Structure 1
């Protein structure tokens, strides 16, 4: 954590602390796409928005009345209201002393009630945020019995969703919560110990029900060396889970799909194509967000196209889009026709092989270069197989130029995003030049 980031974040939080209408918001984003999230925030919230960027997250202040704009962001995964930012000095000999520090940090958090009230309004939680001890005692046993009875019904095969939507609660509900702790750095205490200490202190103060699985409020305690950030999560589940109902082996997260599309700098009237669409994440995100563009998705696998159709049919409304089964090495477009290609390339881990990619990537890139608009066309390509991409770019270097390359981390895997721009050279000229080289050799 740089000193510059530390100072900027402190100043940002101080501003919201001194204004009852301002909230400091933290959003998480896949590492490498932070600038796309910053740009979207300035576009959809305010062009003058002050944003503090960190690895995998961004922070900014927003008026509580404008929080609906934050919930419309499509580049971010999770949204938190920041209740405190503190810097603690730990006892290297005694872990219990440090756990006491965390308990005290809850007691001394002057912004916690303000943020809790904002959380209740944002999530539309209808229940009791500040129950009495009697309220708690009246419902806790009933809550536990009901949870035990319904525990098997809550389990959905393949679902990773935790918690429940606060707005689905009832007026007489006592808030259920959990504390999660994430740590960076070396400490003499465990994350579970911090979560237990902070959670116990909150329960003593507010008489909430502890529930580690079906909670309505998740309190995130993020420890980065000596910095401690307490955030209240306002998204019941990660925003990347939207749109897709039918998943395939390599289904792309919706938030990543949005960020890839934004890198393509789409313009009204553009024809945007995902030539290897899989389950349709990119075409669906494009159809929902880019209403003034025409979106086409295609794949050579019949099951992939069928899955994409099912996902489109599960959405409400009509869209300027189409799905086609094709061979990506023989696309049904004339030369210099498509404005932008945006796709998740086969990467040889869960689909395809690295050996095949060395040959296929070259053919893919040449076909995309043929059909994308000369001089103005853009390609945004996501891949884990950088070696094959480097070889393909060498073959197509006269047709495509690298404008930007982002290193991104998704689910623990390191990938790369290439933004390519089409050169002025026509495909016919490229072929003629290639033939002349072949003859001379």
Structure 2
């Protein structure tokens, strides 16, 4: 028999830049029996204070932050890993992919499914509290207090934002939420038993220009959250939950399969405002550190690298060359997602960059080899105690299906030995 014919694939960074020049449009992908034309409400996104969620809250909507210009590629990743629960909407050029869940679905189960999904093209996921439109005059308003007052007024409107439904959906992933519940007689007052809920607020202008800094707008959002949940505590680094706000460049439209380009910001009569809660993921909090420990000045984000490799769609036996490999992000992401193909990276910038790339490759290869060797030498139900500073890569390896079949994570503890490290207690299956 003749060996399978190999293809050669050229992959590099300029390919990504070309993707950003595509026009802004959207399409809907139905991943269940529900079709876009049958969605109740026929949302047209009129320019008034109307919310994104159906006010019956029978639907729950999610949005996935993905690389801008590569939304259609990320759509395939989301459909393959989280498909079958509703309708996926892509708004090209927006940096977001949306998911509207079916009424028959259990929202908590969907959140758990997203949490466990291996979404390599997704930077973060949010469950949408709601949206409304902000008057255009607030963009040009020089007094920031007027903007803050508008945000507070909108967030206090309980008909606009589905706090109870969204918090209930992510409750199983945020243990401290189990000790916080809304008083039935006054939904703005919180009763609390034990524990302490830590949160942070963040905001992105998303290509909109405003004189007020994003962190100041985030502070305004956070202050309203504290009024609603007075027993919560602000913690910008070690938080249990993140409340995320942004100005959208274009309102999503589930009523049609194609959405025309939105008017430019200067022509739009109002500005869409979205408020959401981050869905915790099983991996690291930041995808920027995935599978690497060394960085270059122009290192590509792993999510972009994965999308580029996914676009190339290498088949088993293919050879993929990245001649501008830098610290090796594209070859590493490609080898992880397509282990049956050969990925080669080159770099002209000298040994320093090559050493960084080599460090990332060796770091990514070390842990799988270690886990396989531990499985070989440890008896069934035996335990391994591992102390490592590279917990992000360790978490990634433990999520591999083959590794999950070998070991059960009994405990993970953060400890300090002059610097922060993590202790893993693993039980051999």
The TM-score, its normalising length taken from structure 2, stands at 0.55
* Contact kept in structure 1, 2:53 and 2:130, CA below 8 Å: no
What is the aligned counterpart of 1:175 among 175, 182, 197? Answer: 197
Q: Shift of residue 74 of structure 1? A: 0.9
What is the aligned counterpart of 2:221 among 198, 204, 227? Answer: 198
* Pair 1:295-2:334 in alignment: no
Q: Who wins on radius of gyration, i.e. which is larger?
A: 1
Q: How many residues align?
A: 283
Measured in 2, the distance between the counterparts of 1:35 and 1:3 equals: 11
Q: Residues 31-430 of structure 1 correspond to what in structure 2 (within 5 A)?
A: 31-46=68-83, 49-54=87-92, 55-62=94-101, 64=107, 65-70=109-114, 71-89=117-135, 96=145, 98-107=147-156, 108=158, 109-123=160-174, 128-130=179-181, 173-183=195-205, 185=208, 191=214, 194-207=217-230, 208-224=232-248, 225-235=270-280, 237-299=285-347, 301-315=350-364, 316-317=367-368
* Contact kept in structure 1, 2:335 and 2:343, CA below 8 Å: yes
After superposition, the Cα gap between the structure-2 partners of 1:196 and 1:66, relative to the gap in structure 1 and judged at 3 Å, is closer
Q: Shift of residue 238 of structure 1? A: 2.9
Q: Shift of residue 191 of structure 1? A: 4.7
Query: How big is each residue's C-alpha offset from its partner over 1:314-358, in whole Å with a ceiling of 9 and x where there is no partner?
Result: 23326xxxxxxxxxxxxxxxxxxxxxxxxxxxxxxxxxxxxxxxx
Query: How big is each residue's C-alpha offset from its partner over 1:231-276, in whole Å with a ceiling of 9 and x where there is no partner?
Result: 1123563323211112234332211110110121222332223334
Query: How big is each residue's C-alpha offset from its partner over 1:288-339, in whole Å with a ceiling of 9 and x where there is no partner?
Result: 1113323333445444444333222323326xxxxxxxxxxxxxxxxxxxxx
Q: Shift of residue 110 of structure 1? A: 4.5
After superposition, the Cα gap between the structure-2 partners of 1:68 and 1:74, relative to the gap in structure 1 and judged at 3 Å, is farther
Measured in 2, the distance between the counterparts of 1:314 and 1:282 equals: 15
Measured in 2, the distance between the counterparts of 1:106 and 1:238 equals: 27
SS at match of 1:250: coil
Which residue matches 1:367? Answer: none
Measured in 2, the distance between the counterparts of 1:60 and 1:91 equals: 31
Measured in 1, the distance between the counterparts of 2:306 and 2:25 equals: 31
Q: Higher RCO, 1 or 2 (CA under 8 Å, sep at least 6)?
A: 2
Which residue matches 2:15? Answer: none
SS at match of 1:102: helix
After superposition, the Cα gap between the structure-2 partners of 1:172 and 1:59, relative to the gap in structure 1 and judged at 3 Å, is same
Measured in 1, the distance between the counterparts of 2:208 and 2:279 equals: 27
Measured in 1, the distance between the counterparts of 2:171 and 2:358 equals: 38
The TM-score, its normalising length taken from structure 1, stands at 0.53
Measured in 1, the distance between the counterparts of 2:210 and 2:326 equals: 43
Counting helix residues as a fraction of each chain, which structure ranks higher?
A: 1
Q: Shift of residue 223 of structure 1? A: 2.9
Q: Shift of residue 44 of structure 1? A: 2.6
Measured in 2, the distance between the counterparts of 1:241 and 1:124 equals: 25
After superposition, the Cα gap between the structure-2 partners of 1:306 and 1:226, relative to the gap in structure 1 and judged at 3 Å, is closer
Q: Shift of residue 211 of structure 1? A: 2.9
After superposition, the Cα gap between the structure-2 partners of 1:202 and 1:292, relative to the gap in structure 1 and judged at 3 Å, is same
Measured in 2, the distance between the counterparts of 1:317 and 1:117 equals: 36
Q: Shift of residue 27 of structure 1? A: 1.8
After superposition, the Cα gap between the structure-2 partners of 1:239 and 1:88, relative to the gap in structure 1 and judged at 3 Å, is same
Measured in 2, the distance between the counterparts of 1:118 and 1:86 equals: 22
After superposition, the Cα gap between the structure-2 partners of 1:23 and 1:243, relative to the gap in structure 1 and judged at 3 Å, is farther
Measured in 1, the distance between the counterparts of 2:318 and 2:347 equals: 20
